[in-house]
Structure 1
Amino acid sequence: MALAPRPAPSKPASPLDPGIGVNFGQPTRRAINHDGSFNVRRRSSQAHVRDLYQELITMDWLPFLGLVFSGLTLVNLLFAAGYLWLGLEHLSGTATLTHIPPFLQAFFFSVQTFTTVGYGGIAPNSIGTGLLASAEAMTGLLMAALATGLLYGRFSRPRAGILFSRTALITTRPNGQASLQFRVANRHRSTLVELRARVLLQFTDPDGNRSYHNLILERDSVYFFPLNWTIAHDITPESPLHGLTQQDLTARYAEILISLKGYDDTFAQDVHARNSYRFDELEWNRRYVRAYDIEDDGVVVLDLDRLHETEAV
């Protein structure tokens, strides 16, 4: 009698890993920062222009404007030094400007050439200064195009603008059901629709090894998002939070990982937002205060400053 083929052994289920790692071997920082970035630092021996472009697009406005202004000033100073090295006698019109120091004369001419203003008071009268002025004019056009592209990229980049409550709550509903809750709202005037949420619970052992658990939400999506949305997970017997105390979450370095995705009508694109709450950013036995009022004309007013306010249960 022929023996039936022996079935292949089934593979053990792999642990849930959302893409931020499981085994590290030593303690690490929080997985997701409040600005949505990850605590991962990339290192490479090769520099990439694409990385520089992304850095310029994503950095804050004040450092960006300071960097652009400093770069333009430095280039003009270098060209001014070139004109001074060639000699101001090769720039017609400088002889009558004795009340202006020579370097400032060269710098003013550099700025006028760089920006293609060209007032006409000073002009190159030799091959050397003519070539240098031509090179500066082309450099100015190129840098102006690059700065314009960066500005357009910064203004056209869609941002979710989702505001998270400063703390999450472990609270009790009126029916006695324990619940994990946090609130979100749209801080921008743009319209967000089809907003969806995914929430994970991360535990970390003393060796830095992480485990992840899906948290089933009371409602994982909303069609419209003009008001605040309280995202809730009921702590039922099936919940990984069931039976855990504040001390338990502290001992396990618990972190609530949140990912939101919605559609922005203004940019006609999907937008994403991320955040997390650590064990020390959870408030127990409190509830959120209503964040909106109704004016006399019937218009609902959402107060974003009250998104974070809580009160005792």
Structure 2
Amino acid sequence: MKTKFRPHSRLIRLENQAGRFVIHGMGRWYHHWRDPYHLLLTVPWLGFVAIVSLTYLLLNTLFALAYLAGGDCLEGARAGSFSDAFFFSVQTLASIGYGAIHPKTFYANSIVTVESIASLLLIAVLTGLAFARFSRPIAKVLFSNFIIITTHNSQPTLMFRVANERHNFILEAHAQIYLIIDEVTDEGEFMRRIHELKLLRQRTPSLVLTWTLMHPIDADSPLYGLDAQDLQRLDANISVLISGVDETVAYTITARHVYATQEILFDRSFENIIHKSDNGDRYFDYSLFHQVRPSSTIVEQK
């Protein structure tokens, strides 16, 4: 069964923050116009096509105005017609050249020369950007909706699940998790501190289906002695980073996820997603991937 994913908002909101143009929405992508290369790589495809289309129309508009500034310089075009000049610019920029309209003055030929150079640069840049977007490795790693803290082998343990949505091999998969909390130093200064949490197994030879990661909460753990109210007071977040090599494309891929305080559940257990059929075969029910149930044991920290 297919796993249901949490939907993302498809609304786009534009905001000016201290002189910076920020775009929100479409998977929470955003960037500043000061770094257009990064913006064009990270914006969703709909935004990328929109930006390219607007740029193309604006460029042709500028060249159309340049042709109109030269007076009657285009043979076959109506004098002073913006539409004729605009579509002649489109034909020139795209190297179509129907021939119905052509330059007849030195000024018009000069503008055509400049536009031809701009066309070469534009095509080269867009080809490079499109290739970079297609070739950029993207991890399809699914994280459980919740982190649970329950008893495992008679010890309080933090647990969560990850799954490889592509069902191919992620080789030498490596996991790192960090606890991020508010702390006050001995001098009374507030700071946001990051603590690395040690895992029972930090690396797996291959991530194909699912992987349950566990952090034992012992006396050395930053979570030792903390309950749900403490985590809320400390505004705790847990950041997860998964990396490995995608066997299909031989690229190193990374995936990250952040759990908020309300997504850390105490005294819960994950529903079992591995089932055994009568003939001895095992199968995975991903419809239960995010499901939790009350734990049969109570977490105690001594």
| Structure 1 residues 229-250: Cα deviation after superposition (integer angstroms, max 9, x where no partner) | 1111122344332222111122
2:135 corresponds to: 156
Identity of aligned residues (%): 35
Amino acid corresponding to residue 86 of structure 1 in structure 2: G
Quote how far apart the aligned CAs of 1:109 are.
0.7
2:267 corresponds to: 285
Which has the larger displacement, 72-81 or 207-216? 207-216
2-structure distance, mates of 1:176, 1:183: 20
8 Å Cα contact 1:181-1:233 kept in structure 2: yes
| Structure 1 residues 128-179: Cα deviation after superposition (integer angstroms, max 9, x where no partner) | 1111112112211210110010001111111223222222111233x44321
Match for 2:95 among 111, 116, 120?
A: 116
- Aligned pairs, number: 263
Which has the larger displacement, 192-201 or 205-214? 205-214
Quote how far apart the aligned CAs of 1:280 are.
2.1
2-structure distance, mates of 1:241, 1:146: 50
Quote how far apart the aligned CAs of 1:195 are.
0.4
Match for 2:64 among 75, 80, 85?
A: 80
8 Å Cα contact 2:74-2:102 kept in structure 1: yes
Quote how far apart the aligned CAs of 1:189 are.
5.5
8 Å Cα contact 1:228-1:291 kept in structure 2: no
Match for 2:157 among 172, 176, 179?
A: 179
2-structure distance, mates of 1:69, 1:285: 53
Gaps of 5+ in 2: 1-26, 296-302
Gaps of 5+ in 1: 1-34
1-structure distance, mates of 2:274, 2:124: 45
2-structure distance, mates of 1:189, 1:103: 55
Mark the structure with the bigger radius of gyration: 1
8 Å Cα contact 1:191-1:226 kept in structure 2: yes
Quote how far apart the aligned CAs of 1:111 are.
0.3
2-structure distance, mates of 1:78, 1:140: 13
Aligned-partner SS, 1:205: strand
Cα 1:190–1:132, aligned 2, differ >3 Å: closer, same or farther? farther
Which has the larger displacement, 145-154 or 292-301? 292-301
2-structure distance, mates of 1:208, 1:267: 45
8 Å Cα contact 2:274-2:282 kept in structure 1: no
2-structure distance, mates of 1:84, 1:74: 15
Which has the larger displacement, 205-214 or 219-228? 205-214
RMSD: 3.0
Cα 1:211–1:132, aligned 2, differ >3 Å: closer, same or farther? closer
Amino acid corresponding to residue 170 of structure 1 in structure 2: I
8 Å Cα contact 1:205-1:253 kept in structure 2: no
Higher strand proportion (structure 1 or 2): 2
Cα 1:111–1:176, aligned 2, differ >3 Å: closer, same or farther? same
Aligned-partner SS, 2:56: helix
| Structure 1 residues 272-307: Cα deviation after superposition (integer angstroms, max 9, x where no partner) | 22222232221222222244668999685663x543
2-structure distance, mates of 1:276, 1:223: 24
